[in-house]
Amino acid sequence: MGVMKEYRVAVVGATGMVGRTFLKVLEEYQLPVKEYVLMASKRSAGSKMTFFGREYEVQELTQTSFDSGFDIALFSAGGSTSAKFAPIAAAKGCVVIDNSSQWRMDPNVPLVVPQVNPQDIAWHNGIIANPNCSTIQAMLPLKALQERYGIKRVVYSTYQAVSGAGRKGWDDLENGVRGFVDGQERPLEKFQHPIFNNCLPHIDVFQENGYTKEETKMIEETRKILGDPQMRVTATTVRVPVFNSHSESINVELEKPFELPELREVLARQDGIVIQDDPAKDVYPLAVNATGHDEVFVGRIRRDESVESGVNLWVVADNIRKGAASNAVQIAQRLIAMWNQQ
């Protein structure tokens, strides 16, 4: 065996909510990296961040940022930044793992959840897309069910945390709580309506067909990751007054009949899933328990008796970790393992 190569990695958008979690996850995963460079927009450049116990100065992301030769860049800086800078980085021989929605549906870009379709990493052309947070967590149980029983139809109803809307979304909920306590109303920074004491059936922008962009993302990304462009999928995505971790009710109609005990086994065996399902003891996945973890928690597993072979699942995961940062770092981990085998 040759000497393990040590890699150079850029973290783009390092100062944002997901960017900061990238740093935390990278510290935990200990990839064979000899140098990290943190980058952000001009506005955040120059700020100092502690990473691996030492202080880093955030560099400004520019046209020439990748000239010095990087192996991997983890991008979490929004779609327009990715549209402009990911191709520049890729042209310099750097593999971009992008957290925005910019490249997800591009047929030349793999859309990857490492426990579900790691084989798709291999055909990248310099850019690999990280799926939408609400899609990522759903893919683990759906992949397991698809392989064993085949999937006819999926119905998503989501209960999504405000951290998915970034710092300002978080602030809207926090300000709402404070306002409720002290009787002082504070202006909204992110949402169209108060999120405190409320549910907003409105994530991202509305489209002509009445679906929001978030709902459309879930539908299209599910088909792409599971490799079934005709799969029947529908979604209603809702922002709820929870700080972190998305919860989802997933109704699945299967092609083949199933017995519940075996179906549970199939889910339990899926890499990355933890079953929490003991209703007699009030055990089921909860947002507060999922926060800080990389696993996807599945419970409330029960037959849908209104169709031939249907099942209902309650699926919860940390949307900033597994739904964004950890998934991207896990892609980087697989990519490095692939390179080390070559």
22 vs 246: CA distance, rounded Å: 18
The answer for residues whose C-beta is within 8 angstroms of residue 315's C-beta and 6 or more apart is: 137, 138, 141, 247, 248, 250, 285, 296, 297, 298
Both tokens of residue 230? 């005709």
134 vs 219: CA distance, rounded Å: 11
* Residues annotated as part of the active site: 133, 246
142 vs 154: CA distance, rounded Å: 9
44 vs 81: CA distance, rounded Å: 14
The number of angstroms, rounded, from the C-alpha of 235 to the middle of its chain's C-alpha atoms is 17
Cα 299–Cα 300–Cα 303 angle in degrees, nearest 5: 125
